[in-house]
């Protein structure tokens, strides 16, 4: 997806083959385990699986073009002793155009190596950026305790 691209329902655009779109999204979701750089875009496109339109298919094709151009990138975790965990989180206020819910994002690092990267729409509607960031921090603190 392009920078600052926002996918909408696009009901005025032509529909695409549901089976093809679903199989493309499934392949991309499988790739997110080793390519977290595409996770946000893939999850954004996966939200339109029930009624995909032409702009959604174009966004998925752009992700495949990006993957073709960056084939040498990926995650590799070498064996190392020690246990040092770091976490980072952030949130935006009302990032979803449909229901105005905020989006949380964060990552956890174990010995400086990425072990989890997540973006998720929050379950509640925040009325301030401080509240949205507090909800994100609470969610990622529970993830750190689990690790």
Residue-wise pLDDT for 76-111, tens only, equals: 656 666 678 888 888 888 776 677 788 888 888 887
Contact (Cβ atoms closer than 8 angstroms) between residue 117 and residue 39: yes
Let me know whether 58 and 107 are in one domain: no
Candidates 11, 82, 83; CA nearest to 53 is 11
State residue 80's pLDDT score. 62
Let me know whether 45 and 100 are in one domain: no
Provide long-range contacts, Cβ within 8 A and 24+ apart, for 40-46.
40/105, 40/119, 41/1, 43/119, 44/1, 44/7, 45/1, 45/7
Residue 134 has pLDDT above 80, yes or no: yes
Q: 19, 48, 75: which is the final residue of a domain?
A: 75
pTM here? 0.54
Q: 42, 75, 108: which is the final residue of a domain?
A: 75
């Amino acid at each position: 997806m392009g920078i600052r691209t926002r996918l909408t329902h696009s009901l005025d655009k032509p529909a695409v083959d549901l089976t093809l779109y679903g199989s493309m999204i499934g392949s991309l979701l499988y790739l997110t385990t080793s390519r977290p750089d595409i996770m946000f875009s893939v999850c954004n496109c996966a939200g339109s699986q029930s009624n995909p339109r032409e702009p959604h298919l174009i966004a998925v094709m752009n992700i495949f073009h990006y993957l073709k151009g960056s084939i040498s990138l990926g995650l590799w975790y070498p064996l190392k002793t020690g246990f040092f965990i770091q976490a980072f989180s952030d949130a935006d206020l009302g990032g979803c155009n449909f229901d105005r819910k905020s989006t949380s994002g964060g990552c956890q690092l174990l010995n400086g190596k990425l072990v989890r990267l997540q973006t998720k729409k929050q379950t509640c509607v925040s009325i301030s950026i401080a509240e949205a960031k507090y909800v994100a921090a609470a969610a990622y603190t529970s993830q750190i305790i689990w690790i």
